[in-house]
Structures are given as C-alpha cells and as structure tokens.
Amino acid sequence: MSATDIPRQGETTSPSREGTGPPDVEGCVARLRASLPEGAVITDRQKLRTYECDGLSSHRSVPAVVVLPEDAEQVATTVATCSEHGVPFVARGSGTGLSAGALPRSDGVLVVTSRMRRILEVDIDNERAVVEPGVINLDVTKAAAPYGYYFAPDPSSQQVCSVGGNVAENSGGAHCLKYGFTTNHVLSMTVVTPDGATVELGGAARDAPGYDLLGAFVGSEGTLGVVTSITVRLLRQPERVRTLLAGFSSTDEAGEAVSAIIAAGVTPAAIEMMDELSIAAAEQAVRCGYPEGAGAVLIVELDGPEAEVEHTFTEVRRYCTERGAFEVRSAADEAERALIWKGRKSAFAAVGRISPDYIVQDGVIPRTALPEVLRRIAELSARSGVRVANVFHAGDGNLHPLVLFDSSVPGASERAEEVSGAILDLCVEHGGSITGEHGVGADKVRYMGRMFTPQDLDTMQYVRCAFDPAGMCNPGKVFPTPRLCGEVPGPRRGAHPLAEAGLADEF
C-alpha cells in the first residue's frame, strides 16, 4: 500500500485482525454499560454525531460508542473492555485539534475526557500542579495565578483545549519560542496503556533512569494510550512584560527585523508575524487597530526582570526601525496589550470574514528561509489563483498559511488542497517539517512519506508496537502505511521480538 492509498475520511473501519475476527462492539457496549455509571455510555446516533469531527471538519466519522469516564479507574475499565473485545478506541479532549487526531472510528469507542476536569493539586512549593486530562489549559494558569505562577504552553485555543490534548499534540503557542513546547512542562503522567494497565511515566526526579517514555508519549497523538493525570510545571510570573507592535511595508522587511533581533542574542518571549491579508481579516473581525497600510506586522513580547526588559525593549525597537518599520507602538497597559494579541489570536477564525472556506496549514522552516519561502508561497498563490494569508510564529519558523477558497466553486477545494500540499513540500525542501504544532493526525498521514524514509517510519512503528501490539489505540493516525506489528520490513525484521512472541497483529 502506498501513502496515497491510505483510507481518508469516512473510511474508518478497523483493519481485519487476523485470526480474531471483527470488533465485537455489541459485547463491548454491554460490558461497558454493566461496569460504568448510568449516562457514561452513549450509543444514541443523534448524540454521537456531536463527536463526529474535531476542529478539522473536513474529516468526519460518527463513532459507534462514546464513553464519558469520570475518573482514571473508569478510563482503565473502558480501555480494558475495548481490548478484550477487539474494539479500537480513540481519546478525545476538547476536540479542537486541527489534524483530525481525535477523528473517531465508526466501529470503535471514543473516550471523551470532558468529565475529568479536576485540578487535583497546586503545589507551589515544588512549582507544579497535578491535573486531570480534561482540564482546560487556561484553567491551570487561573488556579496558579493567585500564587504568582502560570502554566507556560499557550496555544491560541487555550480557552477551550484540554491539557490531555496538549500533551498528545505536544502543543505550542506564541510563547514557546522562549519557554518551549508542552513537553518541556510535563514532569510525569499516569497513563492507561492499550491493554488496560495503568502505568506512571516520568517522576518527581528531573532525570529518571531508563528510557524516556514520558518524552516518547508526549506528542504521540493519542496512539500509545490514554493519559489520566498530568503533573505539569508551573512558572513564576515574570516581573515585567512589554509588548511591541511594528508595522512594515513587506514581510521581507519584517523577516529581516526578526533575524536582526535573534542575531543580537535577544530571546523574546514571542515574535509573531502577520501578512497583509491576515491583518485585513483580523481588522474586520476584531478591530485590533494594527498600523494602516502595513504589508506585515510584527508582535514582539519581552518578559523577565524589569531592568533587562527595559534595556532589551529599546534595542528591539531600534532593530525594527532600522529594518524599515514605519510605525512602532508599545502597549501602554494591559488593555492595549490584550488588543494587540486579540488580532493575532483571532486570526484563524478571522479569515472566515474574507473567505467562505479555508485550510489552516501548519509547517516549519528554518527561520533564515522565511523570506525565500514566503516569496515561493506568493508565487504559488499567483500561479494557482488561490489566495494565501500568512500568520506565523516567526521566531521559530512555524508557519500557518491560511489557504482560502470557496467550496461552492467547482474545483476550488482541490486547487486549495494542492496549494496546501505544495506549501508543505516547500517546508520539507527547505529542511523543515510538515507540522509544527497541529500534529499529523489522520490529515497528514499522506505527507509523512515526503519527510521520512521507510526506515525512519519503521523505527517509529517499533515504538508504537511496543505499546500497542494489537493496534487498537487511535489506529489510522500518524503512520502512512498500515503494517503488521511483526511485519515492519527491512533488515531488522527477523529480529522483531513481537513477531517472535507471536504478538503480530495489524496496527
């Protein structure tokens, strides 16, 4: 099977599990109803439709069953029951993912963590908190704020996305330039493995001996098990935060300012860039008051000790002006800062004002390739007649091109998909990645072969098979080529211990 043969939307039935027959969904439901509290198991078709997609609504599949566990024990019961009945399962947090990672299986169970929203502990002395997986990202900061602390990972969806989803996607946000992604803020986790066992990954000590399974789990997109509690790091709120908005006539100029700032050894908490089209969309949506006539804006935020921030702020201002900024503004108070960020944070939804449909793309390039890649995107756009708005975390080269189209025009969706794929090719060609923070999910499995060799993919598959030899946990995501766990091709095949132990099964 080649990458292009991979089942896409609607095709979400299980691979045949050799020798074990099809999933026994009926038996699984009966057992779940007997073991879980009333109302925890949903099979009503109308109610199930609520869960048919995540934030990427072009992929849809109604699950056979939804389970709403209230605690870790109920998650373990659910997963063990699925395992016994050969039923695939998918975890879901808030469903804001943009890569169809939480796309359900039409013959499987969707384990939704929305009833697991307890903050179990805020331990300020040790600068950490323990939370259930359904806890909303921003609620961690709200719980820590009275003590002068916060949770650093700040995806733009932080008012609704769950910490469990953040862990699975290794989510980032504007401030990840300085503070790192979710993986840098998770100390330990309790996880239910695909056979229903409960294990602890990581621990109180910074560098636990043995393999870094915590590191392997964060970013594994729900394919290695279900997280039931997470110990996260809390950071002390900085003494001073300053936010600057600079207007440039082109993205080239703004890109040069970014390079100058980083080359000077300054590490801002965030540097975000928006191009002309995304500025126009944000203006229409939230009236953020960005500089009129700008071909690009930069938002630069500095934080840390007051004296250092004030000094660096003056330098950053100068770099922007020297590289052509025609207007540089600094937020005078929290309200102005919030308005500057509102424009950026609303950008994805805002493009709905200027286009009936759009694809939110997510790719990474080395920062130095920014001007070249932006020029190539503009050429692609001009050649195809497909408009592309650009919003990005400029400091770490994470692009979010928004590919605009009107699905009521024949052929428009296909053209937009082509441009979107070509942008990812550009990212790979320049030494970057097909995803920065939104994950591979079901949507980008078809691009994995463009970035990784078969040997690379086999090696990742070994890890997956070690956790989930029966291939029941979020199958069909991340990997482009379904293979038997004991059948990873290549020179190591004969030595695969799972094959020798007779544990091979289709993933």
Ligand X SMILES: Cc1cc2nc3c(=O)[nH]c(=O)nc-3n(C[C@H](O)[C@H](O)[C@H](O)COP(=O)(O)OP(=O)(O)OC[C@H]3O[C@@H](n4cnc5c(N)ncnc54)[C@H](O)[C@@H]3O)c2cc1C
Please give the residue ranges that form the binding site for ligand X (CB under 6 A): 54-55, 90-98, 101-102, 113, 133, 155-157, 161-162, 164-166, 168-169, 171-173, 221-222, 226-227, 348-349, 437-438, 474
CB of 181 to ligand X, least distance (A): 8
CB of 456 to ligand X, least distance (A): 21
Question: Which residue number, 317 or 393, has a Cβ lying nearer to ligand X?
Answer: 393
Encoded amino acid at 500, one letter: E
Question: Which residue number, 169 or 275, has a Cβ lying nearer to ligand X?
Answer: 169
Question: Which residue number, 165 or 343, has a Cβ lying nearer to ligand X?
Answer: 165
Pairing of strands 270-275, 89-92: unpaired
CB of 324 to ligand X, least distance (A): 28
Measured between alpha carbons, how far is residue 345 from residues 91, 159, 212, 285 in Å?
26, 11, 33, 11
- The partner residues of 390 in beta bridges, in order of sequence, read 401
CB of 359 to ligand X, least distance (A): 13
What does the block give as tokens for 58?
């072009």
Q: How many CB atoms lie within 10 A of CB 297?
A: 28
Question: Which residue number, 108 or 486, has a Cβ lying nearer to ligand X?
Answer: 108
CB of 212 to ligand X, least distance (A): 18
For 220-337, list the strands marked E by DSSP.
226-233, 235-236, 240-248, 270-275, 296-304, 327-330
CB 343 within 8 A of CB 274: yes
Question: Which residue number, 130 or 320, has a Cβ lying nearer to ligand X?
Answer: 130
Distance CA 145, CA 149 (A): 5
CB 161 within 8 A of CB 350: no
Question: Which residue number, 97 or 401, has a Cβ lying nearer to ligand X?
Answer: 97
CB 284 within 8 A of CB 349: no
CB of 176 to ligand X, least distance (A): 8
CB of 75 to ligand X, least distance (A): 8
Measured between alpha carbons, how far is residue 38 from residues 63, 67, 87 in Å?
19, 11, 21
How far separated are the first and last CA of the chain, in Å rounded? 14
CB of 54 to ligand X, least distance (A): 4
Question: Which residue number, 114 or 330, has a Cβ lying nearer to ligand X?
Answer: 114
Element (H, E) at 388: strand 388-393
CB of 423 to ligand X, least distance (A): 18
Q: How many CB atoms lie within 10 A of CB 153?
A: 29
Task: Report the C-alpha dihedral over residues 132, 135, 138, 142, rounded to 10 degrees.
Answer: -70
Categorise residue 277: left if φ over 0, alpha if ψ from -120 to 50, beta otherwise.
alpha
Q: For tokens 């600094």, what's the residue?
A: 330
Question: Which residue number, 62 or 328, has a Cβ lying nearer to ligand X?
Answer: 62
* Residue in the shown chain whose Cβ atom is closest to ligand X: 165
Question: Which residue number, 172 or 255, has a Cβ lying nearer to ligand X?
Answer: 172
